C-alpha cells in the first residue's frame, strides 16, 4: 500500500529547527550522531519511484524526527550501472520536498558539480534554500561514472581541476555577499548578480573526495560525507580527516558522515551481518553499531534502505520508535 500521510504530520513550525539554529548544526554536532534517509524509498520489485508515495514518505519521515532526506543526482541510466532506479531530477524533487516538509534537512548526495554549470547550481540552490526556509545543505560530488563525461561533452581527465574551479564559482555565488564569477568577461559585460540573495551562506558539503585532498576539503567544506567501510578502514578515514582538519582548519568544527546500506530484519535480535556498503541487522545490533560510530566520531549517517519485502513505511516507523530516540534525544 502507498504510504499515507495526514496534514497533521506536518508540524508547521519554523524552519531548520524549533530554536532557529542553522540547519547544518542540527544535522552535524560534535559528540552526537544524527540519522537521515536516502530517497527514493522503494518496495521490492519497484525501480521507478511513485512521486506521490515519495512525498508521503518524506512527510512521515519529517514527522517521525529523522534529521535529513538525501537526494541523489543521477543524470543518466545505463545497463552496466548497478543502480537501476529511475531517479527524479534532484532540483524538481527538492522543490517538492521543500513545500511538503517543515523541519527535516534537505540534502543533495550529491549534485554532480563537474557536469553542471556552477551558476545554474547556485540559482537552484538559492531557490531550494528559499522555498525550504533555510533547510538545504548542498552536497557536491564529481560523479562516479567516467563515461558520463563523454555523454555531456566534458573532459573526464580534467575533472579534478573542474571540480575546484566550479566550487570556487559556486561558493562565491552562494555567499551572503554574493558575487558572480563569469566564465568570460568582455569589456562591456554588465555586473551580474543572483537574486534572491541568501541571508547566510548556503552550506557546502563534500560528498566523496571529488579528486581533492582531504586538506582541500577541510578548508572549503563544512564536512566530508563518505561511503560505509568496514570498521577499521573507516576509523582510518576518520583519523585522516581529523588530522586534515587540525592542519587546514584549526579550531573549526568539520563534520564526518557516512552513507550506510541497511537491510533491517523483522527480527529485532538478528545480529549484524556485513553486506555491500552496510549491514543486514535487527534493530538492537543496529543501535550498537550506530553507538560505536558516534563514539568514534561520526556525526551523521544516511540510511539507504534497499528494496525489500518489508514496506518502507514499516521500516522507518520501526526505526523512529526504537532507534531514533537514543540518538535524537537532545531535541
Backbone torsion region of residue 68, taken as left when φ is above 0, otherwise alpha when ψ lies between -120 and 50, otherwise beta: beta
Task: Note the pLDDT of residue 17.
Answer: 45
Cis status of the peptide bond prior to 40, with omega within 30 of 0: yes
CB-CB contact of 257 with 299 (8 Å):
yes
Secondary structure of the chain in the HEC alphabet?
Answer: CCCCCCHHHCCCCCCCCCCCCCHHHHHCCCCCCEEEEECCCCCCCCCECCHHHHHHHHHHHHHHCCCEEEECCCCCCCCCCCCCCECCCHHHHHHHHHHHCCCCEEEECCEECCCCCHHHHHHHHHHHHHHCCCCEEEEEECCCCCHHHHHCCCCHHHHHHHHHHHHHHHHHHHCCCCCCCCCCCCCCCCCCCCCCCCCCCCCEEEECCCCCCHHHHHHHCCEEEEECCCHHHHHHHHHHHHHHHHHHCCCCCCEEEEEEEEEECCCCCCCCEEECCEEEECHHHHHHHHHHHHHHCCCEEEEECCCCCCCHHHHHHHHHHHCHHHHCCCC
pLDDT digits (tens, 9 = 90+) for 135-161: 999 999 998 777 889 999 999 999 999
Stretches in the chain below the pLDDT threshold 50 = 1-18
Q: What is the pLDDT of residue 330?
A: 61
Q: How far apart are CA 126 and CA 172, in angstroms?
A: 13
What pLDDT score does 176 carry?
Answer: 87
Angle between helices 118-131 and 159-174 (to 10 degrees): 40
Exposed, middle or buried by CB within 10 Å (0-12, 13-18, 19+), for 71? buried
Q: What distances in angstroms separate CA 87 from CA 1, 159, 181, 185, one per listed residue?
A: 21, 23, 31, 36
Q: What is the pLDDT of residue 187?
A: 83
Going by C-alpha positions, the residue among 329, 311, 304, 269 that lies closest to residue 68 is: 304
Per-residue exposure over 178-187, b if at least 16 CB sit within 10 Å of its own CB, e if not = beeeeeeeee
Residue 85's pLDDT is what? Answer: 81
- Give the CATH fold of the 7-327 domain: TIM Barrel (3.20.20)
C-alpha cell recorded at residue 89: 531530477
Give dist(CA 243, CA 249) in Å, integer: 10
Q: What is the pLDDT of residue 15?
A: 44
**pLDDT at res. 205:** 99
Integer Cα distance of 151 and 147 in angstroms = 7
Give the pLDDT confidence score for residue 274 in this predicted structure. Answer: 97
Amino acid at each position: 500500500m502507498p504510504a499515507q500521510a495526514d496534514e497533521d504530520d506536518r508540524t508547521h513550525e519554523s524552519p531548520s529547527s524549533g530554536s532557529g539554529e542553522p540547519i547544518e548544526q542540527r544535522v552535524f554536532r560534535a559528540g552526537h550522531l544524527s540519522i537521515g534517509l536516502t530517497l527514493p524509498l522503494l518496495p521490492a520489485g519497484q525501480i521507478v519511484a511513485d512521486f506521490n508515495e515519495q512525498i508521503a514518505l518524506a512527510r512521515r519521515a519529517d514527522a517521525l524526527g529523522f534529521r535529513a532526506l538525501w537526494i541523489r543526482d543521477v543524470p543518466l541510466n545505463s545497463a552496466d550501472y548497478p543502480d537501476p532506479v529511475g531517479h527524479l531530477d534532484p532540483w524538481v524533487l527538492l522543490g517538492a520536498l521543500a513545500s511538503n516538509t517543515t523541519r527535516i534537512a534537505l540534502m543533495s548526495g550529491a549534485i554532480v558539480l563537474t557536469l553542471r554549470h556552477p551558476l545554474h547550481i547556485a540559482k537552484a540552490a538559492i531557490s531550494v534554500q528559499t522555498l525550504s526556509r533555510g533547510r538545504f545543505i548542498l552536497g557536491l560530488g564529481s560523479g562516479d561514472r567516467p563515461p558520463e563525461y563523454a555523454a555531456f561533452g566534458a573532459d573526464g581527465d580534467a575533472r579534478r581541476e573542474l571540480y575546484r574551479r566550479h566550487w570556487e564559482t559556486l561558493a562565491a555565488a552562494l555567499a551572503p555577499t554574493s558575487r558572480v564569477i563569469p566564465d568570460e568577461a568582455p569589456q562591456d559585460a554588465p555586473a551580474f548578480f543572483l537574486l534572491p540573495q541568501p541571508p547566510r551562506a548556503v552550506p557546502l558539503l563534500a560528498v566523496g573526495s571529488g579528486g581533492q585532498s582531504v586538506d582541500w576539503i577541510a578548508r572549503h567544506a563544512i564536512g566530508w560525507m563518505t561511503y560505509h567501510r568496514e570498521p577499521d578502514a573507516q576509523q582510518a578515514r576518520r583519523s585522516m580527516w581529523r588530522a586534515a582538519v587540525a592542519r587546514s582548519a584549526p579550531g573549526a568544527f568539520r563534520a564526518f558522515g557516512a552513507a550506510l546500506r541497511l537491510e533491517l530484519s523483522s527480527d529485532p535480535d538478528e545480529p549484524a551481518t556485513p553486506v555491500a556498503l552496510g549491514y543486514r541487522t535487527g534493530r538492537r545490533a543496529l543501535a550498537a553499531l550506530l553507538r560505536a560510530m558516534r563514539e568514534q566520531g561520526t556525526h551523521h549517517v544516511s540510511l539507504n534502505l534497499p528494496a525489500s519485502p518489508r514496506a518502507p513505511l514499516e521500516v522507518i516507523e520501526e526505526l523512529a520508535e526504537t532507534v531514533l530516540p537514543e540518538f535524537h534525544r537532545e531535541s
